[in-house]
Structure 1
Amino acid sequence: MNTKELPPHFKQIHRLFLLITIVLVACFIGRIMFLYGFDPNLLQLTTLFIICLLATGAAWVWLWNRRIANYLQTLDAAIERAMHDLPPLTNYEETALSSMEHKLKRYIGIAKTNERIIQTEKNKIKELISDISHQTKTPLSNIMVFSQLMEEMPGLEENVRHYVQLIQAQSYKLDWLIQSLIKLSRLETGMISLQQMEAKPLIQTLTKALSQVYAQAENKQITINIDCGTHILACHDVKWTSEALFNLLENAVKYTPHNGQISILAVTNEMFTCIQLTDTGLGIPSEEIPHIFKRFYRGKQARDFEGVGIGLFLSREIITAQGGHIKVSSEAGKGTTFSVFLPKR
């Protein structure tokens, strides 16, 4: 590091002191000439004195610049050695730099220890999630299969058939909840990484998400309008983004009454591609909007519908992990608009 690499404010200070020195010298010369008139010998002596003074000041500034530059260079080397776990540069000297270097080494050591602890906890969570997934999959699948077989049995009493259908419904709900929690836990612990984060046509992702809610919308005679050109691109992971959009669309279908309408509009600007999902459903009261993305939160009106309050939380986590964000605007009784912003590149 040389003096040219010093921070800009050092140069500003030097210029300020140089300006002050020039002003003082000019005042001094003017005062001398005013008192004693123009005397060549006196002027020569004064000029020599001023040159020596300026040279001494310049040498002093140069030495300080060199000292500061060397100090910063040593500090940079000490930080670099501490980051790579090399022996200390100052060798336990009784200086401020030595104290700073050893404090930095302790801090980096603590940070690495915490990183190892976090990684160990992630591995434990990974094993726990795998165990939960493995241990619940078989018995839950058996319950669903046996309940389906019971429902198909001839001569089954109507009340028994009703209870079997309830068992089936709750089994599917439990299976969906377990799978959602597993996805969420893997996403939060970094076990699932978003792949192929590149600009791709958005229409394919929207179509994939729509295909999963189309049957439900058709049963309620809900009209779905989509306006997304094939040229509209967004930098996103197709699989996980379609998962996030599916959760939003499922909520729209769920809370929109029969013969309602859902509109999907995709627009693009310089930085983001925005997907607006608007429904004519129940709407969200203004006091509940700040809480709807919380885990397991369900509004007062939503409690009359099936659900556990994890879909919006999962959607926000997925979109945020891709560098995007979600906004919501709603009015109770008039519908809701979710705006999903995804980066263009």
Structure 2
Amino acid sequence: MNRGENAGHFNKLYYSFSAAAGLLILGYAGCMMYMTGLTGRVIWLSILFICIFAVLCVLLIWGLRSKLAGIVDTLDEIIEGAIRGEERVTGYSETSISSLENKLIRYIDLSFAHEQKMEAEKNTIKQLISDISHQTKTPLSNITLYSQLLAEQAGFEGETQQWVEQISIQANKLDWLIQSLIKMSRLETGIITIHPSYSPVIGTITEAMSQAYKQAEQKGIDVTIDCASSIYAYHDQKWTGEALFNILDNAVKYSEPGSRIRISVATYELFVRVDIADSGMGIAECELTHIFKRFYRCQRTAGFEGVGIGLFLTREIISAQGGYIKVSSKLEQGATFSIFLLADS
């Protein structure tokens, strides 16, 4: 509540008190005149009483108002000084305001210490994530390289060849999982900062689609994009592209070969809506509120690859830009994911 709101609130109290005092004076004077008669002496005494009582009320109201205004100003100075770390306003006198000032300074000091602690923990986590990323990159790269070298060697047949291929596949899965966990941790701790800008949506969609196109082509899935080049939205192209890819990857993964995925974009006054509709297995209604949770996987997807990170990352990325995401689906009728991006900053 600012000073203007405080003044308005106190003025209402003053006006209410003044009205009550006025009614009391008029009621008292009326009763006196009614009981004693309208004699000149009674009238003059009543007028004198009204004037004296009115003056006392005005002085009382003015004194209370000045006192309250002084307290509010003192509290405002205390808060401003405590925030800037200036010397105390009331000194160390044993008054209620001095006690309040002391508690406020202690609270600000504790808040500052807590903020420093959080920043130190954030830096520690940042260093830990960097170490994990660095330490796992080389072993995984070596495993992938050696598996490729083994696959190129002559003489491997049957099960041996399959084992070599599985080593490469599982190494790639492990690398993807580690990178996803690192991204999730960086987003949650604020290490990764998203920088949205007013840019065309079609470029972000085509970039995301280029990453999922190979898998869609292998399954014979037809992908259509309906988006005008003139449509712009306030978003981070890199991270929004990754969010769109996570949805497209699921759409391709859970759709039958030869099916269709449609990407359409519509503009509203405040948002730009990107719909990704597939004709896959769909999502049960009871699971719609859970699919964006970390590590959650639908019961019907147990036989497919994945760990339940993609949609969680998607929601975090979109939310960090001021947008939101929702989904509508029915079993065996596909699902439609709708991403809403800010139309302007």
Q: TM-score range by the shorter chain?
A: over 0.9
**Residues 1:296 and 2:295 aligned together:** yes
Q: Distance in 1 between matches of 2:66 and 2:4?
A: 10
Structure 1 residue 62, shift from structure 2 partner: 0.9
Partner of 2:289, secondary structure, is helix
* Residue identity matched to 2:290: H
Structure 1 residue 41, shift from structure 2 partner: 5.3
Structure 1 residue 88, shift from structure 2 partner: 2.6
> What pairs with 1:245-324 in structure 2 (closer than 5 Å)?
245-324=244-323
> What pairs with 1:75-154 in structure 2 (closer than 5 Å)?
75-154=75-154
More deviation, 3-12/201-210: 3-12
* Residue identity matched to 1:232: I
Q: Distance in 2 between matches of 1:159 and 1:6?
A: 81
Instruction: Tell me the equivalent position of 2:237.
Output: 238
Partner of 1:6, secondary structure, is helix
Q: Distance in 2 between matches of 1:50 and 1:257?
A: 91
What is the total number of aligned residue pairs between the two structures? 343
Instruction: Tell me the equivalent position of 2:43.
Output: 43
Q: Distance in 1 between matches of 2:128 and 2:35?
A: 93
| Structure 2 unaligned spans of 5+ | none
Q: Evaluate the alpha carbon distance shift between residue 4 and residue 322 of structure 1 in structure 2; reply closer, same or farther with a 3 A threshold.
A: closer
CA deviation vs aligned residue, 1:126-179 (integer Å, no higher than 9, x gap): 111111111111121111112112212233323222111111111111111111
Structure 1 residue 286, shift from structure 2 partner: 2.0
**Residues 1:180 and 2:180 aligned together:** yes
Structure 1 residue 23, shift from structure 2 partner: 2.5
Q: Distance in 1 between matches of 2:154 and 2:126?
A: 45
Please provide the CA RMSD for this pair.
2.1
| Structure 1 unaligned spans of 5+ | none
Q: Distance in 2 between matches of 1:250 and 1:37?
A: 96
Q: Distance in 1 between matches of 2:304 and 2:7?
A: 62
> What pairs with 1:11-30 in structure 2 (closer than 5 Å)?
11-30=11-30
Q: Distance in 1 between matches of 2:155 and 2:311?
A: 43
Q: Distance in 2 between matches of 1:48 and 1:231?
A: 80
Question: Would the aligned equivalents of 1:78 and 1:89 in 2 still touch at CA under 8 Å?
Answer: yes
Instruction: Tell me the equivalent position of 2:165.
Output: 165
Q: Distance in 1 between matches of 2:114 and 2:73?
A: 29
> What pairs with 1:323-334 in structure 2 (closer than 5 Å)?
323-334=322-333
* Residue identity matched to 2:141: S
Instruction: Tell me the equivalent position of 2:334.
Output: 335
Q: Distance in 2 between matches of 1:110 and 1:104?
A: 10
CA deviation vs aligned residue, 1:221-257 (integer Å, no higher than 9, x gap): 1111222222322211111111111101101110011
Q: Distance in 1 between matches of 2:5 and 2:305?
A: 64
Q: Distance in 2 between matches of 1:259 and 1:53?
A: 93
Question: Would the aligned equivalents of 2:198 and 2:235 in 1 still touch at CA under 8 Å?
Answer: yes
CA deviation vs aligned residue, 1:83-103 (integer Å, no higher than 9, x gap): 222333222322222222212
Instruction: Tell me the equivalent position of 2:214.
Output: 215
TM-score normalised by L of structure 2: 0.93
Q: Distance in 2 between matches of 1:235 and 1:157?
A: 54
Structure 1 residue 9, shift from structure 2 partner: 2.7
Q: Distance in 2 between matches of 1:51 and 1:229?
A: 78
Q: Evaluate the alpha carbon distance shift between residue 7 and residue 124 of structure 1 in structure 2; reply closer, same or farther with a 3 A threshold.
A: same
Structure 1 residue 206, shift from structure 2 partner: 1.0
Question: Would the aligned equivalents of 1:244 and 1:315 in 2 still touch at CA under 8 Å?
Answer: yes
Q: Distance in 2 between matches of 1:308 and 1:31?
A: 85
CA deviation vs aligned residue, 1:63-118 (integer Å, no higher than 9, x gap): 11111011011111111122222333222322222222212222222222121111
Aligned-pair identity (%): 47
* Residue identity matched to 1:223: D
Structure 1 residue 333, shift from structure 2 partner: 1.6
**Residues 1:225 and 2:192 aligned together:** no
Q: Evaluate the alpha carbon distance shift between residue 4 and residue 285 of structure 1 in structure 2; reply closer, same or farther with a 3 A threshold.
A: closer
Question: Would the aligned equivalents of 2:255 and 2:278 in 1 still touch at CA under 8 Å?
Answer: yes
Structure 1 residue 33, shift from structure 2 partner: 4.3
* Residue identity matched to 1:23: L
Q: Evaluate the alpha carbon distance shift between residue 326 and residue 316 of structure 1 in structure 2; reply closer, same or farther with a 3 A threshold.
A: same
* Residue identity matched to 1:153: Q
Q: Evaluate the alpha carbon distance shift between residue 9 and residue 217 of structure 1 in structure 2; reply closer, same or farther with a 3 A threshold.
A: same
Question: Would the aligned equivalents of 1:6 and 1:69 in 2 still touch at CA under 8 Å?
Answer: no
Instruction: Tell me the equivalent position of 2:155.
Output: 155
Q: Distance in 1 between matches of 2:41 and 2:147?
A: 117
TM-score normalised by L of structure 1: 0.93
* Residue identity matched to 1:201: P
* Residue identity matched to 2:118: I
Instruction: Tell me the equivalent position of 1:10.
Output: 10
Question: Would the aligned equivalents of 1:202 and 1:233 in 2 still touch at CA under 8 Å?
Answer: yes
